[in-house]
Structure 1
Amino acid sequence: MKNKNYDLIVIGAGAAGIMASIIAARNGKNVLLLEKLSQIAAKLKATGGGRCNLTNTLSNEEFMGRFGRDGRFMQEALKLFDHNDLVAFFDSIGVETHAPDGYRVFPTSHSSLTIIEALKSEMEKLGVTVLSSQKVEKILIDDERTKGVKTTKDSFFAPNVIIATGGLGYPVLGAEGDGYTMASELGHKITALHPAMMPLRTKEKWENCRADTIPKVELRVALPKHKKLRANGDLIFTKNGIRGPVVLDFARDVTPLLDTYGEVPILLNLTKGMDEHKILNHLKTQAQNNPDPKILDLVASLLPRPLSEELCTLSGIDPEERWGKIGGAQKDTLIKTLAWTPMTITGHDGFKMAMITRGGVNLKEINPKTMQSKLIQGLYFCGEVMNIDGPCGGYNLQWSFSSGALAGKLLQ
């Protein structure tokens, strides 16, 4: 390629890098987008099971709150480019979106390919140079500021470089953590990295319960120092443990604890928030309407039958026993188990099953008003490579687009 000089080089053609490239090009910058894979947007293609949950309709305050203590770091990025701006952006490039449940926003096609093709077309229209199969080996620095990058094939030069390489999740889609290496080599601190948004393994093996989705489950960590860690949502039992939206959200808090404690005891409310008093009244009412009922039949009025059987056994009660035949202590144990079912998280499948990464480039070393490094002039970050991650439901993709827009817009 003849031209090796640009205003901006973006490393990583995911959601964040593509958005940064488009915004910079719209502002008249000559942009080079480098992707180490043969195709761009591999992870974006897989987002939401291919349906592409782009964002959600929460206010900016609520949105930031879901990211925990680091959420305020996003304030300037969201002020510039929040979910309303994202919807308007996609409308401007020919992609219609909707929120069928009033909360999660999807392209009306419910296909990530619609999103990717529209982004490709916009970059082509703006003259963004996109080079695939270009793995960046090193960011070139001169006197504490960026001057370009060296790839496995060539060198390219620009006064501004954006690292948008993502995290370690889904290595089959190109995640290798190379952005962390580049940032570290330039003096940036990388926080501890943990897989997040993934299924979890448990000591308990309730294989017969796999057919049902349990709605509105609350999960809590049952460790004295971490009792505030909890999540709510739908849960599915698997051959080796648990999965589902609530588990994906919960995993980001649990995986660091596994490194510390080896295994993590948890409590599950599987009865849609019912407490012991409400559960007891429900069982009594069912018993009154069903002369001499089996314990299993009563519990199955609350939960799927296979799960009911497991919980009876866990409580030390024969599921076939009659309600009138068991004593008060046994009933008390059963009700306590139904209100808060104990399980033990023992592990996970590592980054190969993680949708996102918890940890990354230290936020204290990045200017939240520009996404520029506080250490190196002309170096910017956007997306998952930074130490900020949120729950499932469009949060992380919106953050990628917002941080990409801010990094692309405020170039020096």
Structure 2
Amino acid sequence: MNSDKYDLIVIGSGAAGIISAIIAAREGKKVLLLEKLSKIASKLKATGGGRCNLTNTLSNEDFMARFGRDGRFMQDALSAFDNKALVSFMDEIGVQTHAPDGFRIFPTSHSSATIISALEDEMKRLSIEVLCNERAERLLLIGEHISGVKTQDKQLNAANVIVATGGLGYPVLGAEGDGYNLASELGHKVTDLSPAMMPLRTKEEWVKNCRADTIAKVELRVDLKKHKKLRAKGDLIFTNHGIRGPVVLDFAREITPLLKKYGEVPLLLNLTKGKNEEEIQKYFKKELQKNPSQTILELVSTLLPKPLSQELCNLAKIKSDEKYKKIDGAKRAKLISLLVWTPLTVNGHDGFRLAMITRGGISLKEIDPKTMQSRIIKSLYFCGEVMNLDGPCGGYNLQWSFASGHLAGKLL
């Protein structure tokens, strides 16, 4: 039994949890940060391959739009703590940042260790108590008010509790859905949970022959009657078992729920930077005028990497050493059709084991966006990925974690 009374207990030491603890402590609150692992910030350490893409340079309006229809939920949090405020906060604690590509913002060290060290120093300066190897098992109530947290061997009393436990992605880094269980036990609704921001597996095996190259500006579309509006554009990489790359990581959040529903998800890929059939025919005509003797493989390879060109010829049942004009008209039409829209069938993924984020979470309807406080239990707050809000890669989810944690830490 622990009889100490805290103003705030924060459960979870990711970006959202740590900044909420810091903001509360800066306002004079006695704060305890609970972490079930032996060290804090395990997932933050791994973010962006360890480079830690903190945020990006988009305006708040454009930023929210990238989260879809629920993006407006972030308005108050971003108004109080947007990308400029985050950069200023990092500068304040000794972390210099920059945007080398004009969009994504990183620490100049390109190392998450720099950020974690600075956050730890700030927590020490503010006398925030950090308790590791301590799992929160239950939230305690007096009436409809939070009164503390029960761990495996302690009862910790507090006037406020913030749940910042993250999602289910990368369980090796501590993601086990603790926050969902804590919230649902008190009556909060947790939406369906799906892994997101991850590679996808395909039924087609030819992809393994194309894994050496990145294909730029690929458009992906879902080829299901009810979901034809789902599409994305960006760089794609073929793998030994499927596809990955920025466009796939972003689009996976749409695919994984469909995969759960249908078992397979047919996709169409435009691999030729948006060219349609007429444009490809004109392009081929110009290329053949330059070099009439080139083979079909050589011709297609002026558009795409050679291994991928070979596989598309195979799909069209064309011998790669044939000349374009000698190819049967139906086969020629088939090849051009494949260049415009190449079919692929997603039939699996590696689950939450390799998911960077989770789609789904605690229902936003039950959280006040002006404070991040529960609408069901007083003095209970949520922030970060534990809520039903996720965005694409590019600093979106980390900015949201910091912004929501900042607002929750105000304890409004």
Q: TM-score, normalised by structure 2?
A: 0.98
What pairs with 1:48-67 in structure 2 (closer than 5 Å)? Answer: 48-67=48-67
Whether 1:90 aligns to 2:94 is: no
Whether 1:201 aligns to 2:186 is: no
Distance in 1 separating the partners of 2:242 and 2:106: 30
What pairs with 1:126-137 in structure 2 (closer than 5 Å)? Answer: 126-137=126-137
Whether 1:79 aligns to 2:76 is: no
Structure 1 counterpart SS, 2:6: coil
TM-superposed deviation, 1:4: 2.0
Structure 2 counterpart SS, 1:283: helix
State whether residues 164 and 384 of structure 2, in contact with CA within 8 Å, keep that contact through their aligned partners in structure 1. yes
- Structure 1 counterpart of 2:269: 268
TM-superposed deviation, 1:26: 0.8
- Structure 2 counterpart of 1:335: 336
- Structure 2 counterpart of 1:168: 168
Task: Indicate how the Cα distance of structure 1 residues 2 and 183 shifts in structure 2: closer, same or farther if over 3 A, else same.
Answer: closer
Whether 1:153 aligns to 2:153 is: yes
Give me the CA root mean square deviation.
1.0
Which amino acid is the alignment partner of residue 48 of structure 1?
Answer: G
State whether residues 292 and 324 of structure 1, in contact with CA within 8 Å, keep that contact through their aligned partners in structure 2. no
Which amino acid is the alignment partner of residue 20 of structure 2?
Answer: A
Task: Indicate how the Cα distance of structure 1 residues 247 and 363 shifts in structure 2: closer, same or farther if over 3 A, else same.
Answer: same
Distance in 2 separating the partners of 1:84 and 1:344: 41
What pairs with 1:88-127 in structure 2 (closer than 5 Å)? Answer: 88-127=88-127
Which amino acid is the alignment partner of residue 356 of structure 1?
Answer: I
- Structure 1 counterpart of 2:317: 316
- Structure 2 counterpart of 1:387: 388
Q: TM-score, normalised by structure 1?
A: 0.98
Structure 1 counterpart SS, 2:409: helix
Structure 2 counterpart SS, 1:392: coil
What pairs with 1:273-292 in structure 2 (closer than 5 Å)? Answer: 273-292=274-293
Distance in 1 separating the partners of 2:277 and 2:171: 44
State whether residues 3 and 157 of structure 2, in contact with CA within 8 Å, keep that contact through their aligned partners in structure 1. no
* Stretch deviating more after TM superposition (326-335 or 262-271): 326-335
- Structure 1 counterpart of 2:401: 400
State whether residues 292 and 323 of structure 1, in contact with CA within 8 Å, keep that contact through their aligned partners in structure 2. no
* Stretch deviating more after TM superposition (237-246 or 312-321): 312-321
Instruction: Give the fraction of aligned pairs with identical amino acids, expressed as a percent.
Output: 69
Which amino acid is the alignment partner of residue 196 of structure 1?
Answer: A
Which consecutive segments of 4 or more residues in structure 1 shift more than 3 A? Answer: none
- Structure 1 counterpart of 2:367: 366
State whether residues 269 and 342 of structure 2, in contact with CA within 8 Å, keep that contact through their aligned partners in structure 1. yes
State whether residues 2 and 155 of structure 2, in contact with CA within 8 Å, keep that contact through their aligned partners in structure 1. no
Distance in 2 separating the partners of 1:252 and 1:113: 28
- Structure 2 counterpart of 1:37: 37
Structure 2 counterpart SS, 1:120: helix
Distance in 1 separating the partners of 2:250 and 2:270: 16
* Stretch deviating more after TM superposition (117-126 or 272-281): 272-281
Distance in 2 separating the partners of 1:263 and 1:318: 30
Distance in 2 separating the partners of 1:330 and 1:314: 10
TM-superposed deviation, 1:2: 7.1
State whether residues 4 and 155 of structure 1, in contact with CA within 8 Å, keep that contact through their aligned partners in structure 2. no
Distance in 1 separating the partners of 2:37 and 2:2: 22
Distance in 2 separating the partners of 1:194 and 1:2: 37
Whether 1:226 aligns to 2:231 is: no
What pairs with 1:283-302 in structure 2 (closer than 5 Å)? Answer: 283-302=284-303
Distance in 1 separating the partners of 2:316 and 2:88: 54
State whether residues 197 and 250 of structure 1, in contact with CA within 8 Å, keep that contact through their aligned partners in structure 2. yes
Which amino acid is the alignment partner of residue 179 of structure 2?
Answer: G
The gaps in structure 1 that reach 5 residues or longer are none
Which amino acid is the alignment partner of residue 155 of structure 1?
Answer: Q
- Structure 2 counterpart of 1:18: 18
TM-superposed deviation, 1:47: 0.4
What do the CA deviations read for 1:155-176 (whole angstroms, capped 9, x no partner)? 1111100000000000000000
Distance in 1 separating the partners of 2:267 and 2:15: 35
TM-superposed deviation, 1:3: 6.5
TM-superposed deviation, 1:274: 1.6
Aligned length: 411
